[in-house]
């Protein structure tokens, strides 16, 4: 009698643990997003068609167009090392204040390989000039501080 009860508890525990492991692995797979450079995404484009991707690079010169009436920003992300680009549409959201051609950008969204296009759900920009002065600034004495 005691052995049967113990076997039932062990069997129930194994089933519960397997179910939890399955749910965790499924959740990780659904939420994981691959990160690419524009060149790598173009090279693996057919494999990544209709998949969520992350891309970072530079905003290609003269590629950005902002349609303020429709909240639609279009531009191309340029690879930092090659001439490869990926087109981006970012709509129904405001254009970031520090968005400028040539600036660094990070984009997340769904990739359409047939059009080499990311429909972006997230867009982040970096402003390198904002931090350049802080790195080179040295205090003249121990009580000097840099205030912002």
Question: Tens of pLDDT along 29-64?
Answer: 565 688 899 999 988 888 888 889 999 999 999 999
Q: Give the single-character DSSP code of 60.
A: P
**Residue 43 to residue 46: CA distance in whole angstroms:** 8
User: Which pLDDT band, with edges at 50, 70 and 90, does 128 fall under?
Assistant: low
Domain ranges of the chain: 33-127
Residue 132's alpha-carbon distances to 9, 84, 91, 137, in angstroms, are 63, 28, 31, 9
For residues 107-111, give the mean pLDDT. 94
- CATH class belonging to 33-127: mainly beta
Q: Which residue has the higher pLDDT, 65 or 21?
A: 65
User: Taking all residues of the chain, what is their mean pLDDT, rounded to a whole number?
Assistant: 82
For residues 117-135, give the mean pLDDT. 73
Q: What is the pLDDT of residues 76-105, one digit of tens each?
A: 999 999 999 999 999 988 888 888 899 999
For residues 97-121, give the mean pLDDT. 92
């Amino acid at each position: 009698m005691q052995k049967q009860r113990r076997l039932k508890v062990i069997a129930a525990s194994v089933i519960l643990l397997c179910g939890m492991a399955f749910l965790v692995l499924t959740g990780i797979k659904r939420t994981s997003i691959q990160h690419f450079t524009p060149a790598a995404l173009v090279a693996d484009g057919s494999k990544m068609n209709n998949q969520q991707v992350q891309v970072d690079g530079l905003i290609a010169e003269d590629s950005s167009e902002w349609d303020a009436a429709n909240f639609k920003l279009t531009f191309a992300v340029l690879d930092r090392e090659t001439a490869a680009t990926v087109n981006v549409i970012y709509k129904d959201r405001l254009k970031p204040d520090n968005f400028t051609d040539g600036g660094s950008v990070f984009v997340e969204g769904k990739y359409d390989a047939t059009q080499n296009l990311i429909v972006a759900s997230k867009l982040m920009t970096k402003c390198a000039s904002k931090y350049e002065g802080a790195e080179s600034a040295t205090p003249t004495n121990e009580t000097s501080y840099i205030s912002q």
